Amino acid sequence: SFNIKKICCIGAGYVGGPTMSVVAQQCPHIQITIVDVNVERIAAWNDENLDNLPVYEPGLTQIVAEARGRNLFFSTDVDKAVDEADMIFISVNTPTKNYGKGKGMAADLKYIELCARQIASVAKTDKIIVEKSTLPVRTAAALKSILDHTGNGVNFHILSNPEFLAEGTAIQDLLAPDRVLIGGENQEAIDTLVKIYQNWVPDTNILTTNLWSSELSKLTANAFLAQRVSSINSISELCEKTGANVDEVSKAIGMDTRIGSKFLKASVGFGGSCFQKDILNLVYIARSYGLNEVADYWDQVIIMNDHQKQRFADNIIQTLYNTVSGKKITFLGWAFKKDTNDTRESAAIYVADYLLSEQAEITIYDPKVTAERIYADLDYLNTRSPEENRALVKVVNDPIQACQDAHAIAVLTEWDEFKNYDWYTIKHQMKRPAFIFDGRKLLNRKYLEDLGFKYYAIGE
Ligand code: NAD
Ligand code: UDX
């Protein structure tokens, strides 16, 4: 295999930051530089106060504290890090395209292509290029074409190494991955990356495939996971009509080892930067090959998810006597899941948007999400002006105060701390009847009903 002394990672986001921090911690003999064009992000990664890291993940600060300055560096000097590296991970964002052909469906590959062009123009020595970003199947062919036409006589080997970490559990997922997937054409390049992971991942968990299988497996894994959530959410609606309880159904079917118990938690709908984007991309790819049945099949996962968010908001409106105009509704949670400060595609954003269109007044408390982020999420929808969003939405730092005088509380994220609040005090400071809409099935129905709450949960 090739000798790797220096690695560069382009993109210091939710994937590049934690992933390469763990590689640095596990491989003290390799120097790792994570670069980004976002100056504030790099400054935050370099902040002496580890509470200011741009990504919140349990366990991340300890890892950064150990490796940063030793063999882990964060920098905005992309050219220098690329020039010096023997191996380059590309971990930039690949959002859904919001313009032109494939708008709203295809992955926007402009950031990936910019990386390839920058590498091509800077590189003076042979390099292994690793696709860490989630990419449409056959992207490696495009990368290779750009890299091979540099005229510098430099050799590039391209590998696909998709990342399967979930936010909130990123560090434990990275330290003990179910599998590491490496796709490539050149055996020596594949062996080189395998050797790096062998520093902490058992051989049996390192899987090698051809390039296209690796690229396609990432989209497929996310589509399957999201499909499970939509499947159980579809059943949650049927439960509400029939007297079945969706948690009981989940448990009953999950004990079948062929089905498995994970990812069967009914909710207000899945969020996060990956599921919707990756399924839309899969649907787009299928259609581009003329595979309409395949495309329609996966499209339904998204349709179901949109329906679930809409349905949750509709139920609040209906239950509050068909009007929420001028009523205070408190959101507990804004992040798309617990233990992360990430809000991308969070169900909370869409539920808030529906309720705001009905002139509700929303107060939001989330333990890790800033007010700036929340307003930015709402402004991005363009449903109403930034001024209107700020007039209708309050963000507060104290959950008990958040609930004061509210007509209803909606639980949007499953943060553990919500379970232990002083629900007695909350109840007595709310309007009556005091409603709770639990989009995460987090709280205890019996306890809350005994306190006098009107409690509604998904799928019951
Ligand atoms: P992110 O937006 O948090 O981070 C991407 C970073 O890349 C940004 O900081 C951006 O400034 C930087 N960047 C973009 N173009 C650049 C360039 N030309 N040069 C230098 N820096 C550049 O995104 P993310 O959540 O880390 O996701 C990155 C990729 O990983 C995506 O393809 C995503 O689908 C995939 N992925 C994400 C997750 C997840 O849980 N977030 C999990 C697995 C895979
Ligand atoms: C996902 C994949 O799990 C991960 O492997 C991939 O690398 C990136 O995308 P992530 O989006 O970070 O990870 O979190 P995940 O735990 O998958 O949750 C996604 C969404 O589904 C969240 O909004 C979560 O609340 C929701 N969800 C998940 C449910 O509603 N029910 C479940 O049973 C599981």
Where in the sequence numbering do the catalytic residues fall? Answer: 163, 218, 274
Do residues 193 and 90 share a domain? yes
> Is 131 among the domain residues?
yes
Q: pLDDT (tens digit, 0 to 9) for every residue of the chain, 460 residues total?
A: 999 999 999 999 999 999 999 999 999 999 999 999 999 999 999 999 999 999 999 999 999 999 999 999 999 999 999 999 999 999 999 999 999 999 999 999 999 999 999 999 999 999 999 999 999 999 999 999 999 887 678 999 999 999 999 999 999 999 999 999 999 999 999 999 999 999 999 999 999 999 999 999 999 999 999 999 999 999 999 999 999 999 999 999 999 999 999 999 999 999 999 999 999 999 999 999 999 999 999 999 999 999 999 999 999 999 999 999 999 999 999 999 999 999 999 999 999 999 999 999 999 999 999 999 999 999 999 999 999 999 999 999 999 999 999 999 999 999 999 999 999 999 999 999 999 999 999 999 999 999 999 999 999 9
Supply the residue whose CA is at minimum distance from atom 10 of ligand 1. Answer: 11
Give the nearest ligand 2 atom to 336 CA.
Answer: 23
> Would you say the CB of residue 173 lies under 6 angstroms from ligand 1?
no
Q: Cα(249) to centroid of ligand 2, in Å?
A: 20
CATH of the domain at 228: 3.40.50.720
Do residues 341 and 374 share a domain? yes
Q: Cα(54) to centroid of ligand 2, in Å?
A: 20
> Is 1 among the domain residues?
no
Strand partners, 129: 88, 158
Helix, strand or coil, per DSSP, at residue 309: helix
Q: Cα(10) to centroid of ligand 1, in Å?
A: 9
Residue 66: Cβ-neighbour burial (10 angstroms; 0-12, 13-18, 19+):
middle
What residues does ligand 2 touch, defined as CB less than 6 Å away?
163-167, 222, 225, 229, 263-265, 267, 270-272, 274-275, 336-337
Mutate to test the pocket of ligand 2, among 270, 277, 305 (most ligand atoms within 8 A of CB): 270
> Is 257 among the domain residues?
yes
> Is 225 among the domain residues?
yes
Strand boundaries in 219-332, DSSP class E: 328-332
> Is 74 among the domain residues?
yes
Q: Cα(269) to centroid of ligand 2, in Å?
A: 10
Do residues 263 and 349 share a domain? yes
Do residues 83 and 205 share a domain? yes
Do residues 198 and 320 share a domain? no
pTM: 0.96
Give the nearest ligand 1 atom to 274 CA.
Answer: 34
> Would you say the CB of residue 170 lies under 6 angstroms from ligand 1?
no
Q: Cα(83) to centroid of ligand 2, in Å?
A: 36
Do residues 416 and 335 share a domain? yes
Q: Which residue among 209, 236, 255 closes a domain? A: 209
Q: Give the separation between CA 22 and CA 91, rounded to whole angstroms.
A: 15
- 333: Cβ contacts below 8 Å, ≥ 6 apart: 348, 365, 366, 411, 412, 413, 414, 415, 418, 440
Do residues 51 and 197 share a domain? yes
Give the nearest ligand 1 atom to 115 CA.
Answer: 18
Q: Cα(16) to centroid of ligand 2, in Å?
A: 18
H helices then E strands: how many in the chain? 18, 14
Do residues 399 and 424 share a domain? yes
> Is 125 among the domain residues?
yes
* Cβ burial 83-97 (10 Å sphere, 16+ → b, else e): bbbbbbbbbbbbebb
> Is 453 among the domain residues?
yes
- 101: Cβ contacts below 8 Å, ≥ 6 apart: none
Supply the residue whose CA is at minimum distance from atom 41 of ligand 1. Answer: 14
> Would you say the CB of residue 21 lies under 6 angstroms from ligand 1?
no
Do residues 169 and 244 share a domain? no
> Would you say the CB of residue 111 lies under 6 angstroms from ligand 1?
yes
Do residues 427 and 361 share a domain? yes
Q: Which residue among 184, 209, 234 closes a domain? A: 209
Give the nearest ligand 2 atom to 337 CA.
Answer: 25
SS3 annotation, 80-134 = HHHHHCCEEEECCCCCECCCCCCCCCCECCHHHHHHHHHHHHHCCCCEEEEECCC
Do residues 249 and 391 share a domain? yes
Q: What ipTM does this complex have?
A: 0.98
> Is 427 among the domain residues?
yes
Nearest CA among 375, 368, 399, 371 for reference residue 389:
375
Supply the residue whose CA is at minimum distance from atom 30 of ligand 1. Answer: 133
Number of structural domains, the chain?
2
> Would you say the CB of residue 316 lies under 6 angstroms from ligand 1?
no
Give the nearest ligand 1 atom to 41 CA.
Answer: 9
Strand partners, 127: 156
Do residues 96 and 216 share a domain? no
Q: Cα(38) to centroid of ligand 1, in Å?
A: 11
Q: Which residue among 163, 178, 209 closes a domain? A: 209
Supply the residue whose CA is at minimum distance from atom 23 of ligand 1. Answer: 93
Q: Domain residues for 15?
A: 6-209
Nearest CA among 200, 203, 421 for reference residue 332:
421
Helix, strand or coil, per DSSP, at residue 268: coil
